[in-house]
Structure 1
Amino acid sequence: MKIIINNQEFILHPSGAVFWKEKKILLISDVHFGKVAHFRKYGIGIPKDASQENFTRLNSVLALFDIQIIVFLGDLFHSKINNEWALFAAWKKKLSQRVILIEGNHDIIGKHHYSDLDIEIYNELVIDDFLLTHHPTESEAFFNFCGHIHPGVKLRGLGRQFLNVSCFFRKQKQLIFPAFGEFTGNCYLMPTENDIVYAITKDEVIEVSSN
């Protein structure tokens, strides 16, 4: 789905990523690399191969657009370094794009590890009229791109059918990104009449009514 914000074009992808056409920037939030290994360490039954899913989805999105910069809006890695870090490092070294991380609350790995991979780190970043953060931030001067919440929405159909899906949640001056990563869960939000919800299905992003 293509949307316009502040005269800029953004493409919302079903993976949860967003391509900023004019800047050739790919925006992604809450990948939570390492979460599968973290769960397995504590005996939670997740298939080992599940750790590859984030990389597969990322590579698919990267192949779709002419991307010069990748911006992760926080919670890139779930916790401390584990055996998924080597997979992430190997993946990063193959990239030609500039990579930026906006720090999230889960980003506790020492900054020198990211510096060794030529990843830039910021608490927040301003690009033109846009403020990029991890936590949702209200700003009079900027439109805020953020993550953290893992937004979802409950869709109601005929016959009392309900469907819970991830979504992009848009307020007047803010777009909250869905979690890109696997096994992250959702926080289901209740939109008001001034909010716009872009629900994510397997193959597309669709705007849904707040009613």
Structure 2
Amino acid sequence: MTLNIQINSRDFILHCSGALFWVEKRMLLISDAHLGKVSHFRKHGAAIPGVLMHKNFDKLDSAVNYFEPESICFLGDLFHSSLNNEWQLFHDWVARTPVPIILVAGNHDIIAPKKYHDINITIVSEWALDGFLLTHYPEERDGLFTLCGHIHPAVLLAGKGRQFLKLPCFFKSAQQMILPAFGEFTGTYVMEPQEGDVIYVITKDDVLEVPNKER
């Protein structure tokens, strides 16, 4: 279900939901939840089962109950678009999750900041903390290791008979790690690992480091 790693002498736990737990800070980091996306597409006629909108909140509850964090930081694209009926589900989730919540705004975060402030969520454009840069967009900045999202990274694993399996992943390079999209109803972008990159794929029940020979 989890995998323990170290980055710059700090301890982190990768969770199969796509969440990342910073042990020393007791902070849960989640990227690209895209809440409201199911309702957004249903509103425009897409035949998507309404039950899917509850899965993201089930995943959030599962990660919070597992780690019991002292704070939660969303690394952008928390809500997919404008307000819809999933906002009430989110409002209810915040009410039953009594820890500070910070949103590092992403490109999809277009809901008025006042709506977040009204439910005691802090919004920032980026956050430099203890040698790490928490941001939505991947970037490398001198003196900081970046934790980010936006890309929805995945990797192709080669099998026998020219078969391939695409899995979402935590994608770690020398100066940054891109978190997988947490949201259930999101696409992925296949990354091309370079020498020195480390890939941690997530399955339904586990997180696994992928040896170089399997990529």
Q: Same fold (TM over 0.5)?
A: yes
**Partners of 1:142 and 1:168 in 2: how far apart?**
18
**Partners of 2:93 and 2:105 in 1: how far apart?**
20
**Partners of 1:51 and 1:186 in 2: how far apart?**
19
- Give the counterpart of 1:11 among 13, 35, 42: 13
**Partners of 2:211 and 2:69 in 1: how far apart?**
32
Determine whether 1:175 maps to 2:177: yes
Q: 1:196 corresponds to which residue?
A: 198
- Give the counterpart of 1:84 among 68, 77, 86: 86
**Partners of 1:137 and 1:107 in 2: how far apart?**
19
Alignment of 1:49-68 (within 5 A): 49-68=51-70
Match of 1:61, SS state, is helix
**Partners of 1:20 and 1:127 in 2: how far apart?**
11
CA contact (8 A) 1:100 1:120 kept: yes
CA contact (8 A) 1:192 1:210 kept: no
1:173 maps to amino acid: Q
Match of 2:122, SS state, is strand
Determine whether 1:103 maps to 2:105: yes
1:29-49 deviations in Å (ceiling 9; x for gaps): 000000000010111111011
What is the Cα deviation at residue 209 of structure 1? 2.6
1:40-94 deviations in Å (ceiling 9; x for gaps): 0111111011100000011011111131000000000000000110111111111
- Give the counterpart of 2:158 among 156, 159, 162: 156
Q: 1:27 corresponds to which residue?
A: 29
**Partners of 1:8 and 1:157 in 2: how far apart?**
34
Q: Which runs of 5+ in 1 are unaligned?
A: none
**Partners of 1:57 and 1:207 in 2: how far apart?**
22
User: 4+ residue stretches of structure 1 with deviation over 3 A?
Assistant: none
**Partners of 1:188 and 1:160 in 2: how far apart?**
17
The TM-score with structure 2 as length reference comes to: 0.96
Q: 1:122 corresponds to which residue?
A: 124
Q: Which runs of 5+ in 2 are unaligned?
A: none
What is the Cα deviation at residue 137 of structure 1? 1.4
Q: 1:70 corresponds to which residue?
A: 72
What is the Cα deviation at residue 6 of structure 1? 1.3
**Partners of 1:177 and 1:210 in 2: how far apart?**
19
**Partners of 1:57 and 1:197 in 2: how far apart?**
22
Match of 1:105, SS state, is coil
1:124 maps to amino acid: E
1:158 maps to amino acid: K
Identity of aligned residues (%): 53
What is the Cα deviation at residue 115 of structure 1? 0.1
1:69 maps to amino acid: S
